[in-house]
Chain A
Amino acid sequence: MDDKEIEIIKKKKMKEMIDKQNSAKTKAREFAQAILDCEEYKNFIKYSDELEKNQTAQNLLKQSQEKQRELQWNGFNANTFQELRELQMDINKNEIIQNFLKAQDELVDILRRTNDIISGKIGTQFAFLQGGSCCG
């Protein structure tokens, strides 16, 4: 086998390697498209938009966050705690917020299932978090 033949074999192997890597990337694109097409994703987008546009729901969430922050920073206060409980009850009754939370849970559930499937097959965590940790 001369140098030219070795070079041809090397190039062929390199091409095969690149093709296989590209195949994984092609499959990642198809997977992303399947996510975009699934009902869980469409519902999530729909209810996110509704939540974003609804001032009442936005105010409830904002007030609830403020009360939680107050309790964290200022320590326990019975009045603030009661106000937070009432806000939580209003949130539980708010259809727009509940639709959004349900849609979010359903989307997260299917995405976690896909990550479990892929991670299980390749023997390492597939979902990659920038920075390596979800904590920061």
Chain B
Amino acid sequence: MAKDYPSHLVIIKAKELAEALQQSEAFKEKGMERLRALIVECNQIIVGATGINYGAVCKPKSCCG
């Protein structure tokens, strides 16, 4: 269905990003500090490009009830 395609692409791109993060030295080194820094940079790219506060939108359900 044409309607589903763009959403499907978002999921594909999310998987590709996850794989790229897994391939990063920061992830392989198991160094949380460097991985966290890379995650922050990726989040900033997403927020900067879309204007969506990705962190707030995707906050864990346990946070603030």
Q: Which residues of A does B touch, CB under 8 Å?
A: 16-17, 20-21, 23-41, 107-108, 110-115, 117-118, 120-122, 124-130, 133-135
Inter-chain contact total with CB atoms closer than 8 Å: 156
Whole-angstrom CA separation of A135 from B55 in the bound complex? 12
Q: Give the interface of B toward A (CB within 8 A).
A: 3, 6-7, 9-27, 32, 35-36, 38-43, 45-46, 48-50, 52, 54-60, 63-64
Q: How far is the CB of A129 from chain B (nearest CB, A)?
A: 4
Which residues of chain A have C-beta atoms less than 8 A from B63's C-beta? 133-135
Interface of B (DSSP majority class): helix
Given A21-B24, A111-B57, answer yes or no on A36-B50 (Cβ-Cβ < 8 Å): yes
Q: Across the interface, do A134 and B56 meet the contact criterion of CB distance under 8 Å?
A: yes
Of A34, A112, A125, A128, the contact of B13 (CB 8 Å cutoff): A34
Nearest CB in chain B to that of A112: its residue: B58
**Which residues of chain A come closer than 8 Å to B26, judged between CB atoms?**
21
A contact residues around B12 at 8 Å (CB)? 34
Residue of A whose beta carbon sits closest to that of B43: A128
Q: Is the CB–CB distance between A38 and B7 below 8 Å?
A: yes
Seed contacts A108-B57, A134-B59; 15 additional CB < 8 Å A-B pairs: A26-B20, A30-B16, A31-B46, A32-B49, A33-B13, A35-B10, A35-B49, A38-B6, A38-B9, A111-B52, A114-B10, A117-B11, A117-B15, A121-B21, A124-B39
